[in-house]
Amino acid sequence: MRLSFLLTSTIATTFVLASSLTAAPPRTPEQVAMAALAAAPVWDGHNDVPEQLRERRRNVLGAFDFRDTRGTADPANDRGAMHTDLLRLRAGKVGAQFWSVYVDAKLPEPQAVQATLEQVDVMKRIIVRYPAEMQYCETSACVEASFRSGKVASLLGAEGGHSIGGSLGVLRQLYAIGVRYMTLTHFNTLAWADSATDTPRHGGLTDFGRDVVREMNRLGMLVDLSHVSEATMIDALEVAKAPLIFSHSSAATLDNHPRNVPDRVLDLVKANGGIVMVVSAPAYVSAEVRDWNARKSGEEARLKARYIGDPDAAKAALADWVAAHPSPKATLAQLADHLDYIKNRIGVDHVGLGGDFDGIGDTTEGFSDVAAYPALFIELARRGWSQADLEKLASRNMLRVLKAAEAYAASQRGAAPLENPTSF
């Protein structure tokens, strides 16, 4: 009996030692990050290339080369080089992109509708120029096929409800031409929804605003709550029957900017099955940057009053103030903090990425363009994010949300469109 026990123990010990000798060594953060991005490329929630085409080129593409835009700086008009091109999208492991067909929220609404259609057109023209690198998509199935082909799945999102001109008919037509999300507001409060950065007028959504959410759900268009007030966030989450998104927002607990998402709303996002796609704009990443911006704005107002009638003197004095009080910098680590916070608060199934590249001027240090995503994934892997976690962050969460929106729309095929009377 004792001999049998000793033999069994010897065999077990030998097996354990052999297993430990043949086991693969632990993977480095770099290996974990790159394996995740190979399995699930980044699906970015918000990029403003169409805005750059409008502002820099009046939507006339001519000889514009989207393969490499690093030489597009325009110092005479205070514009740096663009953040996005096909070369850097590939380097950044970006496999899907929501392109924002944003137009200025200060435009009269009929003009905003026209301008939105022009932005849809110009981005579609860019996509078809590069058939080997880009794939126009309107569905989750198309995105999955694009991933397999190695192309950048290219979807459209409208940034601000001014783009529908107060009309559910226009909303339906935007969906018909391929717009797959709409941000309910931009910087300005609308006749039917309060913005985060304007005076509230409705305490959230009006009855028409609630109908906008219902009709978007019926169509399968994602409801985007970036830019809206907290009350609008809550109203939309109460009405929604499909998962909602924040296409480019961060955590208010870490940076209490009104554009960021408070904890009680994060909890509602989890219950809704939605996703918060963390933004890289410095003022939304770093509370120190936001505070500095507020001080600068106060100083600018003071100097304009001090040098009333002499704008050149006010401008020179502000430049002196900035030189004496340089801005702090948002960092890649702070960006990762927002991702950690949301993951820990509501779970890894509810977080994504919305860089806002080409819609911002200053960028976060270490995250200056669309090529920077691998650096962020390596930082998160160092913090203990698993490969499965990183795959969800990259694109699996966004894919799940779009599929859920499509499934709800399919269940509503027999439902009649909601209607509203025309305004003229």
Q: Domain locations in the chain?
A: 27-286+330-411, 288-328
The question of whether 159 is a catalytic residue gets the answer yes
Q: Which of 44, 48, 211, 340 is catalytic?
A: 48
pLDDT for 19 equals 47
CA–CA separation, 198 and 142 (whole Å):
37
Provide the whole-model pTM.
Answer: 0.93
Q: Which of 162, 186, 202, 350 is catalytic?
A: 186
The phi, psi pair for 84, rounded to 5°, reads -135, 135
The residues with which 364 forms a beta bridge, in sequence order, are 367
- Tokens 């959410």 map to which residue? 213
> What is the per-residue pLDDT across 241-252, written as a single tens digit (0 to 9) for each?
999 999 999 999
Q: Which of 44, 85, 109, 159 is catalytic?
A: 159
- pLDDT mean values, one per 10 residues, the chain (424 residues): 45 46 81 98 98 98 97 93 98 98 97 98 98 98 98 98 98 98 98 98 98 98 98 98 98 98 98 98 97 96 96 96 96 98 98 98 97 98 98 99 98 97 89
The question of whether 83 is a catalytic residue gets the answer no
Q: Which of 194, 211, 230, 356 is catalytic?
A: 356
| 27-286+330-411: CATH architecture | Alpha-Beta Barrel (3.20)
CA–CA separation, 8 and 384 (whole Å):
38
The question of whether 338 is a catalytic residue gets the answer no
The question of whether 46 is a catalytic residue gets the answer yes
> What is the per-residue pLDDT across 48-68, written as a single tens digit (0 to 9) for each?
999 999 999 999 999 999 999
The question of whether 104 is a catalytic residue gets the answer no
The question of whether 202 is a catalytic residue gets the answer no
Q: Which of 83, 162, 202, 227 is catalytic?
A: 227
The phi, psi pair for 136, rounded to 5°, reads -65, 130
How big, in percent rounded to 5, are the helix, strand and coil portions of the chain? Answer: 50, 15, 35
CA–CA separation, 178 and 372 (whole Å):
28
Q: Which of 162, 248, 257, 338 is catalytic?
A: 248
CA–CA separation, 14 and 17 (whole Å):
5
pLDDT for 82 equals 98
Q: Which of 46, 162, 202, 338 is catalytic?
A: 46
pLDDT for 22 equals 59
- Neighbouring residues of 217: CB distance < 8 A, sequence distance ≥ 6: 223, 240, 241, 242, 405, 408, 409, 412
The question of whether 356 is a catalytic residue gets the answer yes
The phi, psi pair for 43, rounded to 5°, reads -115, 100
CA–CA separation, 170 and 172 (whole Å):
5
